[in-house]
Amino acid sequence: MEIAKRLGGVGEYYFSKKLREIDELNKQGKNIINLGIGSPDLPPHPDVVKVLYEESQKPNVHGYQNYKGSPVLRKAFADWYANWYQVVLNPDSEILPLIGSKEGIMHICMTYLNDGDAALVPNPGYPTYRSNVTIAGGVCMEYELKEENNYQPDFDAIEKMDLSRVKLFFVNYPQMPTGQAPVKEVFQQLVAFAKKHNILIVHDNPYSFILNDDPQSLLNIDGAKDVAIELNSLSKSHNMAGWRVGALFGAADRINEVLRFKSNMDSGMYLPVQLAAAKALSLGKDWFDSVNATYQQRREKVFELLDLLKCRYSKNQVGMFVWAHIPDNYKDCYEIADDVLYKANVFITPGGIFGTAGEQYIRISLCGSVEKFKDAIERVQKSLQS
């Protein structure tokens, strides 16, 4: 059977392929330490799990749900944004719960892109932006994020591109994979740029609470709702990646436009999950402090590991990963990643999977115990001595 042409420029997700290889190595007795994927290993708050359990016992919660999500969850998201981002949102019209924010990226692409329409995507950046634009029939126009520019968009360079067919502009701060924190002045420039060129900004914001003392939303900028929508998620901030709870935030017209596509793709989220997510959104600063205390300890161990590998990195990064420049004795990120994998049985992510601008970098996830990182350090030390 011939596959659809829309998949012609899209390969299997890198981690999907690499995890199969790691499985094979483990079958050979290698016991690979995986420091690659950002899947939180910490549990949600016990009160969140309690709500899920209690609500799932009720007999009337197992049917199809509202396509726009439970009013309880939408109100919780609105309160969360008001409390943490100082953004006022109408829970009835400006919030759309999603089965994870990753699906929202596809919904947005399918809602706005016709064949040949273009989207600006960051290089390096989350690979899903590129693949979803391509699947929707769009064309990716990459804008390079450079270390010397603090991984912020070079608006002068972007202005020189042919923007005539650009409809979407994907941005992501705290930035993945580089760990660049959000900067209000950059957000202001993005809003001004979008207004000038009639482009919709899509801000992907799942990392704003991880090792970051100043959570920010693009929607906090004056006039942002006119030209921007924002994705957010409980996957990282509340250790609920497998629960698949996210949301889209923006002007009512944008929410209704995306809903036209989304409502043809799914039949809503399980109600007990939504009610448990609402509980998670009510957690206070103590929750985030406790999560970040754990990540802080782990990050110190990652710094030790990177020092062993003679990588260069900034200690000012935020988010769930550490991004580091590889030493000169390796030609690219793939060489050092394979060296560490096959000699030390430790998997780290080559930065090139996030775009060509990442080929001299590696990324290490903080999703592992301190003991796991200590073990990885010992393995790398032994491999370097052999």
How far, CA to CA in Å, does 79 sit from each of 18, 27, 205, 353? 40, 48, 17, 36
Task: Please tell me whether residue 112 adopts helix, strand or coil conformation.
Answer: helix
pLDDT value, residue 5: 83
Structure tokens given for 219: 């929607």
Q: Give the pLDDT band (50/70/90) at residue 386.
A: confident
Both tokens assigned to 306: 């990177």
Q: 364 falls in which pLDDT band (50, 70, 90)?
A: very high
Q: Which two tokens stand for residue 308?
A: 């062993």
- Cα-to-chain-centroid distance, residue 330: 28
pLDDT tens readout for residues 294-353: 999 999 999 999 999 999 999 999 999 999 999 999 999 999 999 999 999 999 999 999
**pLDDT tens digits for range 286-306:** 999 999 999 999 999 999 999
Instruction: Quote the CA–CA distance of 225 and 154 in Å, as a whole number.
Output: 23
**Measured between alpha carbons, how far is 173 from 190 in angstroms, rounded to an integer?**
12
In one-letter notation, the amino acid at residue 114 is N
Find residue 232's DSSP bridge partners.
247
Distances in Å between the alpha carbon of 39 and those of 274, 321, 355, 377?
Answer: 20, 11, 21, 21
pLDDT at 190 over 90: yes
The predicted structure's pLDDT at residue 155: 97
Average pLDDT in the 79-102 region?
97
Quick one: the chain helix, strand, coil %, rounded to 5?
45, 15, 40
Looking at residue 9, its pLDDT comes to: 72
- 8 Å CB contact between 229 and 250: yes
The band of 156, judged by pLDDT with boundaries at 50, 70 and 90, is: very high
Tens-digit pLDDT profile for residues 105-115:
999 999 999 99
What is the structure's pLDDT at 16? 74
Asked if residue 351 lies in contact with residue 313, where contact means CB atoms within 8 angstroms, the answer is no
Asked if residues 259 and 105 have their Cβ atoms less than 8 Å apart, the reply is no
Q: Per-residue pLDDT for 47 more than 80?
A: yes
Longest dimension (CA), the chain: 63
Beta bridge partner(s), residue 248: 96, 231
Residue 6 has pLDDT above 80, yes or no: yes
The domains found in the chain, sorted by start residue, are: 5-43+286-385 (3.90.1150.10), 46-283 (3.40.640.10)
